[in-house]
Amino acid sequence: MTTETSPAQAAPTRVAAATATTETVPYAHTRLPDADRELLREVLYEVGTDPEQKFILGRRTAELERRLADRAGVRDVVACASGTGALVLALRAVGVVPGDEVIVPAFGAEPLAATVLGVGAVPVFADVDPVTMVMDPVDAESRVTERTRAVVPAHTFTTMADMPAIMAWARRRGIAVVEDAAVAQGATLGGRAAGTWGDIGLYSFFPVKPFGMPGEGAVVLSDNPELATLVRRLRNHGQDGVQRFVHHEVGLNSRFDEVLAGYQLARLDRAEDMIARRAAIAAHYNSRFAALRGSGLLAPTTGADGQCHYVYAVQTICRDSLAAHLAAHGIGSRVYYPVPLPRLSAFAAYAGEGADGRRPGTELASARHLALPLNLNLTDSQVERTADVVCAFFD
């Protein structure tokens, strides 16, 4: 394999040896490969000229749902308009109503809390493990009250939440589990697919996700037929898909696009290769950074079990200096959540005080994490250059 092979096309499973180069390495590069651009044009023409003339929730969407359910080993998959929409649908489906409390991680994306408020409930922020940066099961359970209706463990960056531990106390306490696996399609924990642990789960197809696409979209997964049926109605203004204009409950518009369904169907057999490429890049970074732990760089946990490959984030108390060093060498990086959710002005009213307001793991994760380039357009030489520049900073 040459160092200039396009990972998005070839999806190799290893990263080649170092090459001398001064090329820049952008953090994110979402340009579609030429083959995928052509595929998108072909699918657009196919859907646009189909005698059926159905552009949302058609047969392609139904087929994508069936095939994703088979691949995940789950009873039902329901496609919807976005990852945020999927969270709203899931919260509604498990019965969260105004006045309920929903436990969410304090370190993560804004929709984790915004969707809870959007259904009239109260977000309760649990601390995260400072190493894995995902929900701390013990801290989360300590925040359960008689008003707690659900918990939303979110898989973040490269690590799945501790689903066995969370499921154990949630089952014991009668609390619904909404598994936010937006970034974790293709990941498994103990042989079980991400997104299938909770009462209900979800994947996102946002462009930068592991099986992202050129547009918004997501799916909700569940083994519970009643929950899946409810999600199907809710995504379509409360209609059952059989009789129009008969609304069984107040729903919303979160329907899936047929062009994007056809596009995802055509690429589905390549999903494993796409995820494998990202895993290979992460594994190479891990091997290069293993020796830097004593110098102050903490790399993500190694091993395949419970690992997803959305964002490769290292941690160091020298985060800002490392980012500046990378930028000086033409390498992009990103700080995703510099301020914990409960310290954002949007959610400050729910931050808590005293012991309830202490989240040391979250503060460390927010202060120390730095994401390095991890996308399908990276060449091997760009991966190697990124690793070289990081290692040079700690020499």
Asked whether the predicted pLDDT for residue 6 surpasses 70, the reply is no
Mean pLDDT of 170-188: 97
Bridge partners, residue 180, by sequence:
154, 202
Asked whether the predicted pLDDT for residue 19 surpasses 50, the reply is no
CB–CB of 239/67 below 8 Å?
A: no
The predicted pLDDT at position 241 comes to 86
Asked whether the predicted pLDDT for residue 21 surpasses 80, the reply is no
Asked whether the predicted pLDDT for residue 362 surpasses 70, the reply is yes
User: What confidence tens digit (pLDDT) does each residue in 250-307 have?
Assistant: 999 999 999 999 999 999 999 999 999 999 999 999 999 999 999 999 999 888 799 9
The predicted pLDDT at position 10 comes to 38
Residue type, 276: A
User: What confidence tens digit (pLDDT) does each residue in 207-247 have?
Assistant: 999 999 999 999 999 999 999 999 999 999 999 888 899 99
Average pLDDT, the chain: 93
Q: What are the structural domains, with CATH classification, of the chain?
A: 7-32+270-394 (3.90.1150.10), 38-269 (3.40.640.10)
Asked whether the predicted pLDDT for residue 377 surpasses 80, the reply is yes
CB–CB of 286/385 below 8 Å?
A: no
Nearest to 387 by CA among 291, 265, 247, 275: 291
Asked whether the predicted pLDDT for residue 335 surpasses 90, the reply is yes
Asked whether the predicted pLDDT for residue 70 surpasses 50, the reply is yes
Catalytic residue list: 209
The predicted pLDDT at position 16 comes to 43
The predicted pLDDT at position 7 comes to 36
Mean pLDDT of 88-108: 98
